[in-house]
Amino acid sequence: MNIRADIPSSSPTLPPELRAWLGKERHLLIDGKWVPARSGKTFEVTDPATGEVIAKVAEGDKADVDLAVKAARRAFESGPWSKMSPSARGRLLHKIGDLILEHADELAALEAIDNGKPKNVAKAADVTLSADMFHYMSGWATKIEGKSIPISALAAPGSDFFSVTRPEPIGVVGQIIPWNFPLLMAAWKLAPALTTGCTVVLKIAEETPLSALRLGELLLEAGLPDGVVNIIAGFGETAGAALAGHPDVNKVAFTGSTEVGKLIVKAASHDLKRVSLELGGKSPNIILPDADLSLAIPGANAAIFFNHGQCCNAGSRLFVHRSIFDKVVDGIAAEASKIKLGHGLSEGTEMGPLVSSVQYERVNGYIAAGRDEGAKEIVCGGDVPNGKGYFVAPRILTDVNPSMKVVREEIFGPVLVATPFDEIDDALIAEANNSVYGLAAGVWGKDTGRAQQVAHKLRAGTVWVNCYHVFDAALPFGGYKQSGWGREMGQAVLSNYLETKAITTRLGSN
Ligand code: NAI
Ligand code: MG
């Protein structure tokens, strides 16, 4: 096996510290220590822009998950975490946010070589939002409050009842995350679990383990006690399944495909674990006839092509009023043709490769299916770098109908399907809502009142009006229908990690 301490010759160079870090076998974080997998197994991590191996990572499975859960249980029940004051917990979370910012450059470089996304994008989006999530959540540690509730139950004469609610951490949480935003998904999951006082076993994606493993080092540097966060690199069918079905895990929080989301629910159903899910999408993006096209065209372009279309909330089904349909499609094609594809570390790269050969085959399979079903394909640019990388040029498919696979299914690549509409009526809303998913949507129009009316009728957890991809740690994010259960971020996410206890006390001696 050819494990390289240096970045492959076909890739731009990495800073020497990172090169050295990648040269060492990366281990699992269990009970505050970096340890190899019990089985001794490792797996290779590749740079999707070159197909070359860049690191070797311990491959955790059931035995490692068992140890990690044990450590998390001890940290929750009797370790320092259970005794730490909310204010100390908040300060620690804030420090983690600061450390992420201090290491922004390095974390962004890891995302670039592991996931393929451009480093500058990873720094501006993934890393910044990850730090924001810890900073925002650090404030909640001291604000998780119960209520005193007047009740009508009859007490004996001369006595009274006093009732309060007490939110309590749910316990040991198993978290499973995907590869499209490796660091950010870890932050979205860890920060709220920690602020509520839970302990965690985090199973990171096999395609992209590097930035979350580096984050694990920063957690220890911040002073997180042993066992509070355990990080398992490994595969879904082994490590992921062991975590989802583990009898001593109180709750599973998952982000990934709807298909695996259903498996998680099944695994968790044996002992009725709490489950929250952030799953797929096929989000409608609607351009009304009065839209400001100088905003809507670049907006629709970014809605689908940001992160190479590998976003659960990608605006992948475009609906445009017939009067402006050709102008909008031509405009998006022109914008998309300017996107510079390349290695994530190369100067000027705006779009990297897809994350893996599996996703490359999958997305190309959808493009072929679209062609077979009679869609008209516009290839935008097509200036794909030579070599082994998993690059796919942006595509727009027109002449599509609602029964086509490319219109119904999540492609998770740079492929937009575009359909004209004639009226802003119930038929348009019904078509926009005609999906098993309900994660996000966009509406573009100068008459914001009318755009709001459309927004109210869309069955989606997030609707952006005259903007897209606006994320904030303070805003709840999650899906209707088969896009998931529960919400990430904002105050709303806290309920994913809390149980509510009602305590009623009889006052008085009679
Ligand atoms: P996936 O859903 O299989 O993987 C996500 C995570 O779940 C990974 O950590 C994986 O190891 C784990 N996992 C897989 N099987 C598991 C099991 N049986 N039990 C427990 N954990 C398991 O997603 P995949 O295969 O990487 O991508 C396939 C498609 O899923 C994509 O093309 C895309 O459509 C969708 N997807 C959606 C994401 C989202 O953010 N909503 C993220 C990633 C993928
Ligand atoms: Mg899978």
Q: Where are the domains of the chain?
A: 16-279+486-499, 284-339+394-473
Query: In this prediction, what percent of the chain has a pLDDT beyond 70?
Result: 97
User: Residues 359-411: pLDDT tens digits?
Assistant: 999 999 999 999 999 999 999 987 788 778 999 999 999 999 999 999 999 99
Rounded Cα distance between 92 and 444, Å, is 41
Contact between 257 and 279 (Cβ < 8 Å): yes
Please name the fold of domain 16-279+486-499: Aldehyde Dehydrogenase; Chain A, domain 1 (3.40.605)
Q: What percent of the residues of the chain are helix, what percent strand, and what percent coil, each to the nearest 5?
A: 40, 20, 40
pLDDT value, residue 59:
99
Contact between 454 and 286 (Cβ < 8 Å): yes
**Mean pLDDT along residues 28-41:** 98
Residue bearing tokens 């990388």: 389
Residue bearing tokens 């079903």: 373
- Ligand 1: lining residues by beta carbon, under 6 Å: 176-180, 203, 205-206, 235-237, 240-241, 244, 255-257, 260, 263-264, 279-280, 312, 359, 362, 410, 412
pLDDT of 5 over the 60 cut: no
Dihedral pair phi/psi, residue 288, rounded to 5°: -75, 160
Query: In this prediction, what percent of the chain has a pLDDT beyond 90?
Result: 93
Contact between 352 and 344 (Cβ < 8 Å): yes
Ligand 1 atom 10: the closest Cα is on which residue? 236
The CATH code for residues 284-339+394-473 is: 3.40.309.10
Note if 312 is an active site residue: yes
**For the CA of 359, the nearest atom of ligand 1:** 32
pLDDT value, residue 422:
98
Rounded Cα distance between 26 and 233, Å, is 9
Rounded Cα distance between 276 and 489, Å, is 12
pLDDT value, residue 392:
97
Which has more confidence, 300 or 10?
300
E strand intervals along 341-436 = 376-379, 395-398, 415-421
Model confidence at 156, in pLDDT bands (50, 70, 90)? confident
User: Residues 86-102: pLDDT tens digits?
Assistant: 999 999 999 999 999 99
Contact between 42 and 26 (Cβ < 8 Å): no
User: Residues 6-17: pLDDT tens digits?
Assistant: 334 455 678 888
Closest among 476, 454, 479, 477 to 466, alpha carbons compared? 454
pTM score, whole prediction: 0.97
Distances from the Cα of 259 to the Cα of 278, 379, 418, 496, angstroms: 12, 29, 25, 21
pLDDT value, residue 1:
27
SS3 (DSSP) at 243: helix
User: Residues 209-258: pLDDT tens digits?
Assistant: 999 999 999 999 999 999 999 999 999 999 999 999 999 999 999 999 99
Residue 181, amino acid: F
Ligand 1 atom 11: the closest Cα is on which residue? 236
Please name the residue ranges forming H helices in 352-424.
357-372, 405-408
For residue 40, what are its two tokens?
Answer: 């001794």
Ligand 1 atom 14: the closest Cα is on which residue? 236
Mutate to test the pocket of ligand 1, among 43, 57, 176 (most ligand atoms within 8 A of CB): 176
Ligand 1 centre distance from Cα of residue 411 (Å): 13
Which has more confidence, 502 or 83?
502
Ligand 1 centre distance from Cα of residue 293 (Å): 35
Give the ligand with the smallest distance to the CA of 237: 1
How does the average pLDDT of the chain come out, rounded?
96
Closest among 156, 502, 178, 214 to 355, alpha carbons compared? 178
For residues 444, 469, 277, 112, the Cα torsion angle rounded to the nearest 10 degrees is: 150
Give the ligand with the smallest distance to the CA of 176: 1
Ligand 2 centre distance from Cα of residue 346 (Å): 29
Give the contacts of 471 (CB within 8 A, at least 6 positions apart): 129, 477, 489
Ligand 2 centre distance from Cα of residue 185 (Å): 16
Note if 278 is an active site residue: yes
Contact between 446 and 344 (Cβ < 8 Å): no
Please name the residue ranges forming H helices in 256-321.
258-269, 293-305
Cβ burial 44-77 (10 Å sphere, 16+ → b, else e): ebbbbbbbbebbbbbbbbbebbbbbbbbbbbbbe
**Mean pLDDT along residues 72-82:** 94
Ligand 1 centre distance from Cα of residue 256 (Å): 4
Dihedral pair phi/psi, residue 423, rounded to 5°: -130, 150
| Dihedral angle sign, alpha carbons of residues 56, 59, 65, 66 | negative
Please name the residue ranges forming H helices in 378-475.
405-408, 426-432, 448-457
pLDDT value, residue 11:
59
| Dihedral angle sign, alpha carbons of residues 255, 259, 260, 261 | positive
E strand intervals along 39-151 = 42-47, 52-58, 148-149
Contact between 97 and 141 (Cβ < 8 Å): no
Model confidence at 78, in pLDDT bands (50, 70, 90)? very high
Contact between 373 and 406 (Cβ < 8 Å): yes
pLDDT value, residue 510:
58
Give the contacts of 366 (CB within 8 A, at least 6 positions apart): 405, 406, 409, 411, 413, 415
Closest among 124, 122, 130 to 96, alpha carbons compared? 130
Bridge partner residues of 440 (DSSP): 462
